[in-house]
Amino acid sequence: MNSFINESNFLKGNNAEDLASKFGTPLYVYSEEILRNRMHNVSQVITKYPYTANYSVKANTNINILKLAIEENINCDAMSVGEMTLLLKAGMPEERIFFVPNNVSEDEIEFAIHNGIMTSLDSLCQLERYGEVCERLGLNEDDNARRCAVRINPGVGAGHHEKVVTGGKKTKFGISESDIDKIFEITKKYNLKIAGINQHIGSLFMEPTPYLEAVKNILRISERFGKLDFIDFGGGYGIPYHKLDDEKDFPMEDFKAKLEVILDEFVEKVGYVPLFKSEPGRYCVAEGSFILSRVHAIKENNGIHFAGCDCGMNVLVRPSMYDSWHDIEVIRDGKIVNRENLKTLTVCGNICESGDLLAKDRELPEIKKDDLLAILDTGAYGWSMCSTYNSRPRPAEVMICKDGSVKEIRRRETIEDLMRLF
Ligand code: LLP
């Protein structure tokens, strides 16, 4: 593919150079159409049985994107009080929020209870703590908050990098199958009721086999719990980060068909139908954004050709943190430069670290000073992992709406914002 931006009609007639001059760079640019489309896709993963997709908001918590999730009829999972607050502020009803934390304080648990949000506990210690909070609050035995969930470690992991594999023997997440009897001891002690179980094997797989294996596994484990209200299989569906090299999409249709066969067998065996859930983050939002960045310098150092832009690791940390690949399109005079006459270039940011690289030895069209770069697929774990490192304010975000209008959905942070904390 020569250009994802052109082929997807991402800008709907808007010009990248105009966006850059109006809103400045670096700038996160979103497509309402792509975001809605991907959210709709995940809402259809299971159609034969009761199902909800929970968008995992850690991928992107812009309140305007959370509102799209509400409109597209998907629920959400949250990891922190901040994420729950943003969801409530966006107008997400509490019964559509699932709190899936790790190592949280009593205050955080209490926040979820006070707001009527279902919590999943991911260790025996946290389950015990949840029980203690219920006792301390003097909740009645039949109080809804005594219903909670537990996160099971599926024993299988997958992901694009060791740092994002969350299932399997070596990770900090979830309760092992061998500890299930201890779950029942704790629930008995504190009059808790396990309403559902959840798992998450890790983030970004393009080949669904490990996920499907983990689904079979959690369904088998679920039988230990008797009838459950819900069983949540977790997220992790990948997106093609190498789309300019024609990488294929996650095989959604094939995945859905295989999943349905597994669910059929389960339902037939156990004789009841729980609500099934999944927790996709990246799939919903990654492809719905690119970062527009200005090239400020080019140079050759010992045979390496560098293009230095204003998208540092403070704006997009994934390449430095996980060696992640993001495709890059070059824009000159408002037009995408064709992918021909390629040169080997290293694209870097403006941060004081040698690891501040967006692309190393990448075949790209020639990049000139003052060109714009579009760094693709940055809607997931992009802005949400931004920092103010080197005291650089965090970037603005704009949405290209379905009708082609442009809406600023987060203003650029200012130096004054940074000073306000002192
Ligand atoms: N559910 C739970 C419990 C999770 O921990 C995660 C992601 C998800 C769902 C959503 O996973 P997704 O569908 O987005 O793969 N910062 C890393 C990814 C970290 C994922 C953390 N957990 C990255 O930029 O690749």
Q: pLDDT tens digits for 5-64?
A: 999 999 999 999 999 999 999 999 999 999 999 999 999 999 999 999 999 999 999 999
Are residues 363 and 306 part of one domain?
A: yes
Q: For residue 26, what pLDDT is reported?
A: 98
Distance 204 CA to ligand 1 centre (A): 8
**Contact 174 CB / ligand 1 (< 6 Å):** no
**Contact 378 CB / ligand 1 (< 6 Å):** no
- Residue of 200, 218, 313 best suited for mutating to test ligand 1, as the one with most atoms within 8 Å of CB: 200
Are residues 245 and 175 part of one domain?
A: yes
**Contact 381 CB / ligand 1 (< 6 Å):** yes
Name which residue sits closest to atom 16 of ligand 1, judged by CA: 381
Q: 53 in a domain, yes or no?
A: no
Name which residue sits closest to atom 23 of ligand 1, judged by CA: 381
Q: What is the CATH number of the domain that holds 196?
A: 3.20.20.10
- Residues in the chain predicted with pLDDT less than 70, given as ranges, are none
**Contact 78 CB / ligand 1 (< 6 Å):** no
Q: For residue 269, what pLDDT is reported?
A: 97
- Residue of 282, 317, 381, 386 best suited for mutating to test ligand 1, as the one with most atoms within 8 Å of CB: 282
Are residues 316 and 395 part of one domain?
A: yes
Strand partners, 304: 301
Q: For residue 5, what pLDDT is reported?
A: 98
Could you list the residue range(s) of the whole structural domain that residue 227 is in? 101-278
**Contact 129 CB / ligand 1 (< 6 Å):** no
**Contact 396 CB / ligand 1 (< 6 Å):** no
Are residues 291 and 216 part of one domain?
A: no
Q: 303 in a domain, yes or no?
A: yes
List the catalytic residues: 352
**Contact 234 CB / ligand 1 (< 6 Å):** yes
Compute the distance between CA of residue 334 and CA of residue 14 in angstroms, rounded to an integer.
10
Q: What is the CATH number of the domain that holds 328?
A: 2.40.37.10
Q: For residue 9, what pLDDT is reported?
A: 98
Are residues 342 and 268 part of one domain?
A: no
Are residues 348 and 231 part of one domain?
A: no
Domain total for the chain? Answer: 2
Distance 366 CA to ligand 1 centre (A): 35
Are residues 293 and 185 part of one domain?
A: no
Name which residue sits closest to atom 22 of ligand 1, judged by CA: 203
- Residue of 45, 56, 77, 287 best suited for mutating to test ligand 1, as the one with most atoms within 8 Å of CB: 56
Are residues 225 and 151 part of one domain?
A: yes
Are residues 234 and 361 part of one domain?
A: no
Q: 85 in a domain, yes or no?
A: no
- Domain final residue pick, 247, 278, 309: 278
**Contact 279 CB / ligand 1 (< 6 Å):** yes
- Domain final residue pick, 224, 243, 278: 278
Are residues 196 and 251 part of one domain?
A: yes
Distance 236 CA to ligand 1 centre (A): 6
Are residues 257 and 166 part of one domain?
A: yes
**Contact 399 CB / ligand 1 (< 6 Å):** no
**Contact 284 CB / ligand 1 (< 6 Å):** no
Distance 28 CA to ligand 1 centre (A): 20
Q: 337 in a domain, yes or no?
A: yes
Q: For residue 255, what pLDDT is reported?
A: 97
Distance 420 CA to ligand 1 centre (A): 31
Distance 410 CA to ligand 1 centre (A): 23
Q: 62 in a domain, yes or no?
A: no
Distance 232 CA to ligand 1 centre (A): 14
Are residues 342 and 256 part of one domain?
A: no
Q: 50 in a domain, yes or no?
A: no
The atom number, within ligand 1, closest to the CA of 198 reads 3
Q: 336 in a domain, yes or no?
A: yes
- Domain final residue pick, 231, 253, 278: 278
Q: 233 in a domain, yes or no?
A: yes
Cβ-defined contacts of 264-269 (< 8 Å, 24+) = 264/48, 266/219, 267/49
